A and B are shown apart, each in its own frame.
Chain A
Amino acid sequence: GEDVEQSLFLSVREGDSSVINCTYTDSSSTYLYWYKQEPGAGLQLLTYIFSNMDMKQDQRLTVLLNKKDKHLSLRIADTQTGDSAIYFCAENCGGGATNKLIFGTGTLLAVQP
């Protein structure tokens, strides 16, 4: 079945770059997503990438996609304490017919001042 894996924890200093990694298994995924979850809140869509792209940049966020290795990463430049949260990658499954998402286990990003 489909599976999405992430490392559980990442700690960085304020001002440094953060790189959160994700591997997925469904090669038919058309979109891959990054969501942010702050404590006690729901998931907020940060960015996404279409499967025929290698890279997408959106202000401080850079998404890299290696489709051959089924590897997705999220780079946050100039990480701030407000970036502390859990980050989930997700892939859409079902060939786009149902928009079903498979989520990773989430990476807790801790930003030290």
Chain B
Amino acid sequence: NAGVTQTPKFRILKIGQSMTLQCTQDMNHNYMYWYRQDPGMGLKLIYYSVGAGITDKGEVPNGYNVSRSTTEDFPLRLELAAPSQTSVYFCASSYSVGTNQPQHFGDGTRLSIL
């Protein structure tokens, strides 16, 4: 059981370039999340999805877009990369809410914008 898989693990982008961070989970979880973790900081929620076809903004959505065409996949898109988007990005998923349904995290994508 792979859990939450993120690709790539590392990436260096030039300012203005675009890229898609991939996230897939094989646990049939309804809820998926994207966070960014800046040095010495906690995780900030970028976007989340409560099911296929449904996405919503988190705390820091500016500069990002997401889609959720399937239950398994939740890609994060950067259209015009900026140095402020240098961070470690974590994808997470959970089955449900209401009772304790912990979020399962991927290993992260380390992104540098130069």
Contacts and interface: CB of A to CB of B under 8 A. Distances in A.
A43 B48 contact: no
Given A42-B106, A104-B42, A98 B100 contact: no
A103 B105 contact: no
A48 B42 contact: no
Contacts of B31: 98-99
Interface centre among B41, B58, B100 (most CB of A within 10 A): B100
A48 B40 contact: no
B25 to A, nearest CB: 12
A87 to B, nearest CB: 11
Nearest to A49: B100
Given A42-B108, A99-B94, A100-B48, A31 B43 contact: no
Interface residues of A, number: 26
Interface centre among B90, B92, B94, B103 (most CB of A within 10 A): B103
Sort A-B residue pairs by CB-CB distance and give the 9 closest, nearest first.
A42-B105, A103-B42, A99-B97, A45-B102, A103-B43, A43-B105, A105-B42, A42-B107, A104-B42
16 contacts: A40-B108, A42-B4, A42-B92, A43-B92, A45-B102, A45-B103, A45-B104, A48-B100, A48-B102, A88-B42, A90-B42, A99-B31, A99-B103, A100-B58, A101-B45, A105-B41
